[in-house]
Structure 1
Amino acid sequence: MKNTFLKQSILLFFMLFAVASFGQEGKKNQKAVIKTSIHCDHCKECETCGSKFQTNMLRIKGVRMYELDEKNMTITVYYNTTKTDLKTIKTAISKLGYDADEVKADMVAYESLDNCCKKA
C-alpha cells in the first residue's frame, strides 16, 4: 500500500512539474504596442525609410514580427523574451529616427530620414 502511494505521489509530482514547465513555455513570446511618431502616410512603402525600418527591425535578435500602424502611430512588436527585452527594442527604434514611447528618437538618425518622414 505504501509503495503504491509513493509511486502515485512521485507520478503526480512529475505531472505537475511538466504542466508548470509547459505553461512557462508560452510566456517566452510577448506582444508590445509602442507609441511612436510617424509623420507621413506612406512610411511602409517609403523607398528610403520604409525599407531601412523593415530591415533593421527584423535584425533585432528576438523580434519575430512587427506591424506598423501609421494611422494610430503605433508599432506592435512580437518578440521572444529569452532573446531580447522591450528596452532593447525601443532603443533600436530610436536609432532608426523614431520615438518609441518614452525613448526619444536619436537626433542623428532622425535627421537622416527623408523630409516626408519628419515633422512638418
Structure 2
Amino acid sequence: MKNLLFIVFFGVVFNGFAKLDPPKTAEVKIKTSAICGMCKKRIERDLGLTKGIVGSNLNLDNKVVTVTYNPKKTSPEKIKGAISKIGYDADEVAADQKSHDALPSCCQKSAAAHKD
C-alpha cells in the first residue's frame, strides 16, 4: 500500500512539473551601425551579458542584429539602449557618443569600410 501511495504521489508531482510552461522568448531585429568582425564580436558579447537576452547574431551584410530575449526581463527599447551604450546606433536610437568615441577607430561610423 505504501508503495502504491508513493508511486501515485510522485506521479502527480511529476505531472505537475511537466505542465509548467517553458520560458517564452521573443525575437527582435535591430539595424546597427556595425562595420566589421570586431563590431560583431563586441555587440554579440556585450548583449550576451545583458539581463534577459538569450542570444544574438549580427549579420554584417545588412548590419542587422537579431536578438532573442525574455520579454519578462527586457524589451526592445532596453535592447536598443544596450546597443547604444556599446557604441553603436540601434534603429532610431543614436550611439552613446562617449562609448562610440571609445571604439577602435576602424569601428567608428566615420571610418571607411574595410575587410577583416
Per the TM superposition, whether the score is higher than 0.5 is yes
Q: Report what 1:11 is aligned to.
A: none
Aligned partner of 2:66 among 76, 79, 93: 76
* Identity, % of aligned positions: 38
2:38 to 38, 43, 64: 43
1:4 maps to which residue? Answer: none
SS in structure 2 at match of 1:37 = coil
Deviation at 1:26, TM superposition (A): 7.4
How far has the Cα of 1:116 moved from its partner? 1.0
Instruction: Within 5 Å, give how 1:12-27 maps onto structure 2.
Output: none
Runs ≥4 in structure 1, deviation > 4 angstroms? none
CA RMSD of aligned residues (A): 2.2
1:33 aligns with 2:23: no
Q: Which runs of 5+ in 2 are unaligned?
A: 1-19, 112-116
The question of whether the paired residues in 2 share the 8 Å contact of 1:29 and 1:78 is answered with: yes
TM-score (norm 1): 0.67
Amino acid at match of 1:43: M
Q: Shift in Å at residue 38 of structure 1? A: 1.5
Alignment coverage as a number of residue pairs: 92
Identify the structure with the greater helix proportion. Answer: 1
